[in-house]
A and B are shown apart, each in its own frame.
Chain A
Amino acid sequence: MSWTRKILRVNLSKGSCTSEPLNMEWAKQYLGQRGLASKYLSEEIDPKCDALGPDNKLIMATGPLTGTMASTAGRYSVICKSPLTGAIACSNSGGFLGAELKFAGWDMIIFEGKSEKPVYLLVQDDKVELRDASHLWGKTVWETDDILHQTHQDPQLRVACVGRTAENGCLYAAIVNDKHRAAGRSGVGTVMASKNLKAVAVRGTQGVGNLEDAKTFMAAVDAGKGVLAENAVTGQGLPAYGTQVLMNVINGVGALPARNMRDVGFEGAENISAEAMAEPRASDGKPNLTTNAGCFSCTIACGRISTVDKTHFSVKDKPQYHGASGGLEYEAAWALGADTGIDDLDALTYVNFLCNEDGFDPITYGATVAAAMEMFEEGVITTKETGGIELKFGNTEAFVAVTEALVANEGFGPDLALGSKRLCEKYGRPELSMTVKGQEFPAYDPRGIQGMGLTYATSNRGACHLRSYTVSSEVLGLPIKTEMGDAEGKPELVKAFQDVTALVDSAGLCIFTTFAWGMDNIAPQIDAACEGDWSVEGCMEAGERIWNMERMFNTAAGFTGKDDNLPPRLMKEAIKSGPTEGQVSRLDEMLPQYYQIRGWTEDGTVTKETQQRLSL
């Protein structure tokens, strides 16, 4: 269905659940999910509020295509102010929960206030109630999911919840749905736990409806699926190898950061790559990768389901980790592996399981450990702080030990729960935090891939690859090849990617479709489903409007152009060897042009004219 035109507002302080109509004026301007929920957040909270206080709100939002037959149309996003960055947070997840929420008849849920004691929200179509969750507090994501399924005796129930790291205040806790799909970044799980909200369990039976022009929609959906199937990347590459195939690619082109971005190029990359995941291992002849998997309505199915070698030291005595579960994606494998200097595939898969089991972002976590490792090697952190653990780059046992400490909230765990910015500040080495606006980089070195430097610096949620994935053009040549090392033309490229992505994230679709789909494939699907102008031009303008609105939220929260920055290491320490030798990020050349193209002032503020042009 497209919009259900209904919002569920849950006031956790009062314990009330009320239904209200969706603001259709806003829906026609901001579409849904990321855009529309960010509009609600901007209107309803003070951007300067304490992210972990009752004044912050947490919105779970679907897009108008979520739950339809469009390929990948199962997405939902979580929007709130981030405790990690202080900026707007919007984390997108797949799996099946988003579609279920739609089937229950809701476009979004707005959580406000704070519950006195732990609760979970049960949504069964129109029947909605807050229930006591005291028995779930202290439980992992996996336990919570199992208990709620047992309690409600419904295998079709979909659960999104937080684990123990969120309860313990880890600043980058995730909300995990369907056990291993996560709204992973920026600490949205921490906000959920701060409201004493443990879980959202949803069952919807209302099916599909409300499409503006169902026949045209089905034709556009069919055409779109055809394009995905015929495209070699979405039809073959992603299902077979997943995102992890990039490990060797990015290493090969000289843009794989390693060891807290001190180095570029990781000698162990091939051991943690997609190809290694497909190799039979010595102990049982089975590969790490069990199968691929798809989210709701997805015809790509890039997901990885993996096992850890049962004889591996990390799980030898822990049979609960011997089954198959969500495996390594590229960004996680990079952060947990290359960035910590560890190339033990089983250890990384185990740590990734823990990220899912207890709900924390593997990118920020891996990068935080990497920063701690650099400080350990420099003698700033010692075994006194780590509880006897030799936290050096490449030390697999140490890595597993500190991860278990994080989950148990013991030893060095609470320090790691801070994220790298606060950790490096605590130990007097702020320059070693590889972050923008307090959020850690993913797996592409901005010295090697110039567009990614601008992407990270200007991303509205702090360093992130999913706000404008220019790697697609700069490395893979999709849709057209641009030179990785060139700064020229990148401001235009970044802006175009940012606007398209904002729109796709607001529709209910997965961004991976854009390896094959252009706006001319996407817009007809939205236009047929939704009221309003969703032509290619209308979609692009909405994307731009959403980007600017998020920017204005951040400006009101206190961010300025000075925060569109990269750590000095990436601006000054040139890449030491390989195909990108000698390069640094040329952000200072790109940023002024980017502001100009955006219609912003020299210090990065959205001008009145731009606001008027975009009806902001």
Chain B
Amino acid sequence: MNVSIELYASLMKHLPPGKSRFRRDLKVDDGLILNRLIEQFHIKPEEAHLVLINGHYIDAEERDDRKLAAGDVVSIWPPVAGG
């Protein structure tokens, strides 16, 4: 199935070459677990501070069980804040 990943801020270094600033479209196994996708990009669990699927927050505890669906967009930030 096709999903997309978006890596921001210091995690951008894990993006393979591509056109978009943050996003890569990928083919992955059906029902891939979120944390396995994160591992494929060599992102350590503590680096994946804020993880969204389609804009919705995914708690660290859910990430080992959460199965991706076709078309999902996974967005990941390291620890950041502002205001």
Contact = CB atoms under 8 A, between A and B. Distances in A.
Interface in B36-83: 46, 49-50, 52, 54-57, 59, 75, 77-83
B71 to A, nearest CB: 14
Interface in A458-492: 465-466, 469, 471-472, 475-478, 481, 484
Contacts of A478: 81
Contact of A232 (B59, B78, B83): B78
Contact of A476 (B6, B10, B21, B81): B81
Interface residues on B, range: 20 to 34
Contacts of B79: 231-233, 236-237
A346 B46 CA distance: 34
Interface of B: 6, 8-10, 12, 21-22, 46, 49-50, 52, 54-57, 59, 75, 77-83
A321 interface: no
Contacts of A253: 52, 55-57
A475 B78 CA distance: 13
Contacts of A2: none
Contacts of B8: 245, 248-249, 275
A274 interface: yes
Nearest to A578: B55
A481 B80 contact: no
Interface in A502-553: 511-512, 515
29 contacts: A232-B79, A233-B80, A237-B9, A241-B9, A241-B10, A243-B83, A245-B9, A245-B82, A246-B80, A246-B82, A248-B77, A249-B50, A249-B77, A249-B80, A252-B6, A254-B55, A270-B22, A274-B9, A275-B12, A275-B21, A276-B21, A329-B82, A330-B82, A465-B83, A469-B83, A472-B83, A512-B83, A578-B55, A579-B54
Contacts of B6: 252
Contacts of B52: 252-253, 579
Contacts of A202: none
Interface in A337-382: none
A352 to B, nearest CB: 16
Given A241-B9, A274-B9, A578-B55, A233 B83 contact: no
Contacts of B56: 253, 579
Given A275-B9, A469-B83, A481-B57, A237 B22 contact: no
Given A233-B79, A237-B80, A512-B81, 15 more contacts: A232-B46, A236-B79, A241-B10, A242-B82, A243-B83, A245-B9, A249-B80, A252-B52, A253-B55, A270-B21, A329-B82, A469-B83, A476-B80, A484-B57, A579-B54
A244 B10 CA distance: 13
A466 B22 CA distance: 29
Contacts of B12: 275
A471 B82 CA distance: 9
A261 interface: no
B83 A471 contact: yes
Interface residues on A, range: 35 or more
Contacts of B81: 233-234, 237-238, 243, 245-246, 472, 476, 478, 512, 515
A330 B83 contact: yes
Nearest to A478: B81
A241 B57 contact: no
A240 interface: yes
A232 B82 contact: no
A120 B50 CA distance: 48
Nearest to A331: B83
A240 B56 CA distance: 25
A128 B5 CA distance: 60
B11 to A, nearest CB: 10
Nearest to A236: B79
B20 to A, nearest CB: 9
Interface in A553-587: 578-580
A245 B79 CA distance: 10
Nearest to A512: B83
Nearest to B78: A237
Among A245, A331, A469, A472, max chain B CB count under 10 A is at A245
Contacts of A236: 10, 78-79
A538 B54 CA distance: 43
A240 B55 contact: no
A175 B47 CA distance: 39
Contacts of A331: 83
Among B10, B46, B82, B83, max chain A CB count under 10 A is at B82
Nearest to A469: B83
Contact of B50 (A238, A276, A476): A476
Contact of A275 (B22, B49, B50, B75): B22
Contacts of B78: 232, 236-237
A457 to B, nearest CB: 18
A476 to B, nearest CB: 6
Contacts of A246: 80-83
A241 B83 contact: no
Contacts of B75: 252
Nearest to A511: B83
Nearest to B53: A579
A275 B77 CA distance: 12
A235 to B, nearest CB: 9
Contacts of A580: 55
Interface in A1-57: none
Interface in A219-268: 231-234, 236-238, 240-246, 248-249, 252-254
Nearest to B52: A252
Contacts of B21: 270, 275-276
Among A241, A244, A331, max chain B CB count under 10 A is at A241
B2 to A, nearest CB: 19
